[in-house]
Amino acid sequence: MVTFPIIDDQDGAAFVAWTTTPWTLPSNLALCVNSNLVYVKVKSKSNGKVYVVAESRLSELPIEKPKKGTPNGNADDTSLPKTKGSTGGKAKSSVVSYDVLDKFPGSSLVGKKYVPLFDYFKDHTETAFRVVADDYVTSDSGTGIVHCAPAFGEDDYRVCIKNNIITQGENLVMPVDDDGCFTERITDFSGRYVKEADKDIIQAVKEKDRLVKTGSFTHSYPFCWRSDTPLIYRAVPSWFVAVETLKDRLLENIKETTWVPSFVKEKRFQNWLENARDWAISRSRFWGTPLPIWISKDGVDIVVICSVEELERLSGMKVTDLHRHKIDHITIPSPRGPEFGVLRRVEDVFDCWFESGSMPYAYIHYPFENKEFFDKNFPGHFVAEGLDQTRGWFYTLMVLSTALFDKPAFKNLICNGLVLAEDGKKMSKRLKNYPSPMEVINDYGADALRLYIINSPVVRAEPLRFKKDGVYSVVKDVFLPWYNAYRFLVQNAKRLEVEGFASFVPLDRLTLLNSANVLDQWINSATQSLVHFVRQEMDAYRLYTVVPYLLKFIDNLTNIYVRFNRKRLKGRTGEEDCRTALSTLYHVLLTSCKSMAPFTPFFTEVLYKNLRKVSNGSEESIHYCSFPQVEGKGGNRIEQSVNRMMTIIDHARNIRERHNKPLKTPLKEMILVHPDAEFLDDITGKLKEYVLEELNVKSIVPCNDPLMYASLRAEPDFSVLGKRLGKSMREVAGSVKAMPQQDILSFEKAGEITIAGHCLKLTDIKIVREFKRPAGVTEEQMDASSDGDVLVIMDLRPDESLVEAGFAREVVNRIQKLRKKSALEPTDLVEVYFESLDKDASVSTGILKSQEAYIKEALGSQLLDFSTIPTHAVIIAEETYKNISNFDFKITLSRAALRFNENAVLELYSGDAKYAQGLQVYLLSRDHSNLRSEFQLGNGKIKVDCIENQPAVDVVLGKHVFLTVGDYFASSKALW
């Protein structure tokens, strides 16, 4: 802390300023205060000196032990009482070492002159050595008075320019040379490195009786990131772009651009432009683009060279290379005549951001070439870079295009945030605080990494803490379900050929759009909505809205369309219906691949390469394909109905889980309450079979009277209304909560309501439906769930008539798990046998007989009695189950086995048993699939003439032999 005596002050007061860089004190030209702070004039009781400091910083002045007999001292002051908790030292807070003489605002100090610390700059006395004011002076450090050396601080320079202490554009007196040493002007310390001179400068200040306090102070300081050596701030002569004169045009041009996300433009960039200052474009380096400025020694003649041709013409020399070492020797004669010498190029090179900002025209060598091309394509459609370029590339692009063309440099801008390490720190090669990118790609694939980043906060210009586990989640939640849907298509397309049908060829789109199946209609509509949405959002460069929509679509495709359509896709509803379902899935997968190709280029290419095999004339690569066009209409009522259906299924599952009622346990009834009669018609009509099967409930009861099973109440959505209503929120919230039920129903129907002068929409108010249980019914017997839109009520009471269906589902469930455990593919043909292990086997077999139709539909084949298994059957797997719905049983899986009509075979050979046995042995030795193919080619008949010493016979399928045991019993209808 250093004193600066105030000239003509009646009390002989001095300003106390502070600095952490003593080497800048010889260059002091001004003192800066804050106009809004309160300052005090105080007198020291110990030495009688009068200081001026900010009132809030008075405690930072030193406390000295007063001497006896001094004008302001008192002998009693040396004996200070100990305070509670002290260790014998003097308590600073209990000492009043200064008398306050006066208080005043900082604004009253502006303009006061003071005595400089050194005389090195006395020629500036007329304009310098006075008090100025600025808001960068704060009350949380120092003395509230900052010493200003304009050559060594950005704020110092700005404040001194603003207050005319120095003049912008004129040569700034620089007392430190390029090596960081004081110049001859600083006579007492000339040639000394500034940091090494600190102690001597402090000593010189002390000898002048101007030192108030010195000590150590820890604070942030700039270091060279290459050498880890301390840096100094030092003004250097620079060439500038006069941005301040362009500011109004810049602000106008930015209005013509669209930024994604918009807040980067409206807040961050707008604020930066409003405070834009002239841009220093020169750098003191060797490598770089040389500034094309030639100047005379006296600085009078300045020529800015516009082209190589101009430089050659003015200098008379041939120019082949524009690097410094090839042109620095070139001179230009002075336009004032030979007596004024020559012009030489300034030593500086361009700031590399000047070159980056010149990209739109420089990369095509405009204006020397491609002028027509440039005129047609400028401004560019979009640029994309990180948030840190707001004050970098985005800024320089805009400054140069405004200065040159009075246009923005781009129409649209996409700004991303920064990718940080998992701990929130910057990724550092030195610290290695991030996983290797190649390790992530090798483990999970480039597409998973790409999609993880695209679907993260980083595309909304927010930071992302990168987690490798997040990439794995993308694989698990996106790519595996997506690939499973594709694999399901391929497996079932191949199954058609395995079962002897014609190869799969997808039906045309027009035929599929007219499909009568509700889920076909739904997925076709959802696909069109997807294409429309992606086109709309990508046109607006809103990447962050597209990917979540795409991911939701894939989730619906796998978990709704494929899952609910398995019977159709597996051919259990007939070949024609199967081909329609497979074709629909094919076109949806193809369209989704084309939509996702920009986001997951490798994965979609793999799928497309296989999908195109059944489509004539398709492009060789998905990246040669045009982006899908919208065909037909999307977003119709069926999409809303299916979405509501899934909501109903979720609610019903929640109710089951609460009451420990697994899906395998059939329930009698589900009641749906909703005011929309059309929606209820959809659920109880074309969507009914999916709801019943998925929830294992026997009936759905629709109810469009919202008050029969529920009471309604309205809740304001504070997150939506809070900002909009402000002080009116409390009044509106009270009125909304007090709305009668009939008013709530009217509001739902009308879609809006006016409360306290504010028009509220459906999105502003949440309608809560609370279940009103019928009299005499307990929660264990009937329960409900609601999301405020639809109310789902489940009747949980046991019904003996449903026991048989429940047991059948349990058996089917065990069979499917055993198939999976045995690693069987869906196309693998197996036969399933059931063996009761109960004392009375008739009960379980009787139940299975009654549920025969359901089991056959679920398995795609009949469930056979174990007693009928042929001795030649090849068993794949078997497992025993205990106490399943109070039954014990065994399930056996075997390869498909031939079953002979022995009487018919004997008849072929006129009763010769030896010949009949020889035919059976021959047929059993044949490959099952090849035998099937031969029967198909022969329209159910083959000629066997290759058995030695045995006559040729025609064997008829279904008469003499059956390809499976199931086929045999299906024909005889004598299974159980």
Distances 83 to 89, 282, 420 between C-alpha atoms, Å? 9, 61, 50
Give the sign of the dihedral formed by CA 610, CA 615, CA 620, CA 621: negative
CB 259 within 8 A of CB 269: yes
DSSP string, 127-193: TSSEEEE-TT--SSSTTS-EEE-GGG-HHHHHHHHHTTSS-TTSPPP--B-TTSBB-TTSGGGTT-B
Give the sign of the dihedral formed by CA 227, CA 232, CA 236, CA 238: positive
- Over the stretch 417-448, which tens digit does the pLDDT of each residue have? 888 878 777 777 777 777 888 988 999 999 99
Distance CA 294, CA 239 (A): 13
pLDDT number for residue 862: 84
* b/e per residue 294-318 (b: at least 16 CB within 10 A): bbbeeeebebebeebeebeebbeee
CB 457 within 8 A of CB 464: yes
pLDDT number for residue 800: 66
Q: Are strands 667-673 and 863-865 parallel, antiparallel or unpaired?
A: unpaired
Distance CA 630, CA 617 (A): 21
Distance CA 874, CA 895 (A): 5
**Beta-ladder partners of 575:** none
Six-digit token string for 348: 């500086």
Provide the Cα torsion 359, 361, 364, 370; round to 10°. 170
Six-digit token string for 101: 């003489």
Give the sign of the dihedral formed by CA 904, CA 910, CA 913, CA 918: negative
Give the sign of the dihedral formed by CA 383, CA 388, CA 393, CA 396: positive
pLDDT number for residue 632: 64
- Which residue, among 480, 773, 511, 542, has the nearest Cα to 655 in the 3D structure? 773
pLDDT number for residue 801: 63
The number of CA neighbours under 13 Å toward the Cβ of 318 is 1
H/E element, 6:
none
Distances 876 to 31, 820, 821, 892 between C-alpha atoms, Å? 94, 12, 11, 8
Six-digit token string for 658: 């609460």
3-state helix, strand, coil in the chain (%, to 5): 45, 20, 40
Q: What is the DSSP letter of 252?
A: H
Residues 6+ apart with CB under 8 A from 288: 324, 349, 350, 352
Distance CA 98, CA 55 (A): 12
Q: Please give the backbone phi and psi of residue 135, each rounded to the nearest 5 degrees, phi first.
A: -75, -10
Distance CA 952, CA 950 (A): 7
CB 719 within 8 A of CB 738: no
Six-digit token string for 540: 């607006």
Query: Which segments in the chain show pLDDT lower than 70?
Result: 64-96, 632-635, 800-801, 972-976
Q: Burial-class residue 333 by CB neighbours within 10 Å (0-12, 13-18, 19+).
A: middle
Residue 285 in 3-state DSSP?
A: coil
Distances 270 to 262, 386, 388, 405, 440 between C-alpha atoms, Å? 11, 17, 15, 20, 38
In the block, residue with structure tokens 């529920």: 710
Single-letter residue type at 298: D
| Interior angle at CA 514, CA 512 and CA 520, nearest 5 | 60
* b/e per residue 340-350 (b: at least 16 CB within 10 A): eeebbbbebbb
pLDDT number for residue 31: 94
Distance CA 806, CA 801 (A): 10
The secondary structure of 870-918, three-state, reads CCCCCEEEEEEEEEECCEEEEEEEEECCCEECHHHHHHHCCCCHHHHHH
Six-digit token string for 2: 């250093």
Q: What is the DSSP letter of 27?
A: G
pTM for this structure?
0.66
- Over the stretch 522-533, which tens digit does the pLDDT of each residue have? 999 999 898 889
In the block, residue with structure tokens 């059939």: 666
